[in-house]
Structure 1
Amino acid sequence: MLPPLKSLPVFETVARLNSFSRAAQELNVSQSAVSHQIRILENHLGESLFHRLGRNLELTKEGKQYLDTISNSLLQISEATTQIKGQQKTHIRLAVYSSFAVYWLIPRLPELKRLRPNLELSIEMSHGSPDLSDRTADFFITIEKEKRGFLFESFYEEELFPVCSYSYLETIKSRLNVISSKELMEKLNTTPNPLAQFSLITSHSIYDRHFEDWKRWFSNLQQSLPSTVQFHRFSHLMLAYEAAKHSLGIALVNDYMMNEKNDETALIKLPCSAFKTGDNFSLAYKESRKNEEAIQYLRKWLNEEAKALYRDN
């Protein structure tokens, strides 16, 4: 039996905006009309779809399951309608990790706009793995590997390597008593590794604990992290990057943070080992939307830019 169809887009809007009042504004109806449609749908299903705790609104378990089931159907109806009307969707919501968005994606957006002026791209920035759902975004860059109904394409394999500011590099050279880049490389690839005598910058965001990034870097050299190391601790890789820019010490960052598509990068990559974090980034989007022109264009452009990243590094 079909549900009351008029209620479905109202339910999707409330769930997406997490608000009856904002849904009413978007749908250009009264808040009581929105509440009425949700009540009709809940009565038809025999289940509560939302927890209402004062002004806070949250989907119930049944509400989440129902939204995941119907959202794709609503999207397909919308897409079929625009195709019949001869319209192409040009607005794409891209969910991406914050450091990737700031250091790699945003510097490239002017070129994307030049190549595809009609493509409207909204960036949904995430500190953790974004929820793979139509209510979050249309297209994702994620370390998730699978979800029913989604296609995944390998995009980027993360490596971390030591970097510092140009002024801090002079401090390193002075303390190690070297002048040339060749001498520095030889010094930085000895055992025990001399970086332990400098201030190291550690971030919490990749391994959910401080020091683990440097432990793994030293372990990659088959060495233990010295107990005498002085650390500066930060919650996120972006903060570690910024701290290194201001000569606080040596940080571990990745390729995309050092590939800002300009000649003004404030950090220099030290001539020593890198290690793989184990995080493999993928492009992800709904299988049912794989033939959309905007989805395919964004997919192609991101892959081309990723190839350039590997080529340049």
Structure 2
Amino acid sequence: MATRLPPVHALSAFEAAARHNSFAIAAEELCITPSALSHRIRLLEEFVGERLFYRDGRSIGLSEFGRRYLDVVRSALRTLTDFPMPHRNAAVQPKIKVMLPPTFARHLLMPRIADFTQRHPEIVVELYLSVPLYDLSLSESDVEIRFGAGNYPNIITEKLFEEPAFAVASPAYLKTLPPMKSPADLKQATLLRSALEPWQPWFEAAGLKDWVEPSAGLRVDDLGLLLEAVRHGYGVGLTRQHFAEELLARGEIVELFDIRLRTPPHAYYVVYERAVRERPEVDTFISWMQNAFRNI
């Protein structure tokens, strides 16, 4: 039977928090967010089956078990640290972990990221995908790009850019419908739904003030998949220029009407915790992002 070992990253988080008597200072030392450090402590507490800290408001203190366990953990970490490794002299490259939505990553970041890596070859960039409107914690990433309303309390939130939203459909699907001469003709169409691109604001911009958000039909909460549903002729959807420009240029989808919602409810934001930006590589990446998307 395999021996189950405690997670090493949780042990280091526990030791740092106990040494500083502060989750915030320990998180800064380990270059992670306070919420990520708290998660590691909870993980270790679940492993040992005991409380390691007592929390009283903003202050923390070791439990009796925590004090005894700390001696064991420090001894184990010291053994690992003191083990001779003569070949480990190379400098560690600065690294930044970025969480971002898949459609943004594919259509907007990938065409531009080479500029950053050429300017800053010394910085390692790691990209991880998240689901907009669902993954709302910074977890263990340094920076997140979020698509939403921008209401993220207790973290720094800066708008990258916003684009108008407009209606599109495939030519094949339009052939199955009566002519689309005005927005009111959409009553004959299937409207594809997405929490990321709600129809109600577009209805108001189109003068359809009595129309309500569709409640039936296909729902897709990924902007790239929404475009694929449009391309395959499942209905009419809302999209934005930088996502749709290739399909529009090839004629695989067409824009309906001359109505664009100039200020849609959702935009792209760069999100991070204040302490993280003190790391030079993180500040460099955020500044590059802001400059790269300033005039999009």
TM-score range, shorter chain: 0.5 to 0.7
Name whichever structure is richer in strand by fraction. Answer: 1
Say if 2:200 and 2:211, in contact at 8 Å, map to a contact too: no
- Give the aligned length: 236
Label 1:263 to 1:277 Cα distance change in 2 as closer, same or farther (>3 A).
Answer: closer
Distance 1:162 1:104 in 2: 20
Which amino acid in 2 is paired with 1:106?
M
Counterpart in 1 of 2:260? 274
Partners of 1:106 and 1:3 in 2: CA distance: 38
Q: Could you tell me whether the CA contact under 8 Å between 1:93 and 1:138 is conserved in 2?
A: yes
Distance 2:164 2:206 in 1: 14
AA paired with 1:245?
A: R
1:136 corresponds to which residue?
140
What is the distance in 1 between the residues matched to 2:257 and 2:290?
Answer: 28
1:5 aligns with 2:5: no
- Greater per-residue helix proportion: 1
Q: 1:129 to 1:118 in 2, by over 3 A?
A: farther
Mapping of residues 1-313 of structure 1, within 5 Å = 4-5=18-19, 15-16=39-40, 41-42=52-53, 45-46=62-63, 90-127=94-131, 128-133=133-138, 135-142=139-146, 143=148, 144-148=150-154, 150-157=155-162, 159-168=164-173, 171=175, 175-176=178-179, 188=181, 190=182, 193-203=184-194, 205-206=195-196, 213-224=198-209, 232-238=217-223, 239-258=225-244, 266-275=252-261, 276-309=263-296
CA displacement at 1:244 relative to structure 2:
0.8
Letter in 1 for 2:128: E
Deviation at 1:162, TM superposition (A): 0.7
8 Å Cα contact 1:152-1:282 kept in structure 2? yes
Aligned to 1:153, the other structure's residue is in SS state: strand
Secondary structure of the residue that 1:193 maps to in structure 2?
A: helix
Tell me how far 1:112 sits from its aligned partner. Answer: 3.6
Contact 1:107 1:260 (C-alpha < 8 Å) held by counterparts: no
Give 1:307 deviation, angstroms: 2.9
Output the CA distance in 1 between the equivalents of 2:127 and 2:65. 32
Percent identical residues: 17
Aligned partner letter, 1:198: A
Q: Counterpart amino acid of 1:289?
A: V
TM-score normalised by L of structure 2: 0.59
2:165 alignment partner, SS class: strand
Q: Is the 8 A contact 1:198 1:230 kept in 2?
A: no
Aligned residues: CA RMSD: 4.5
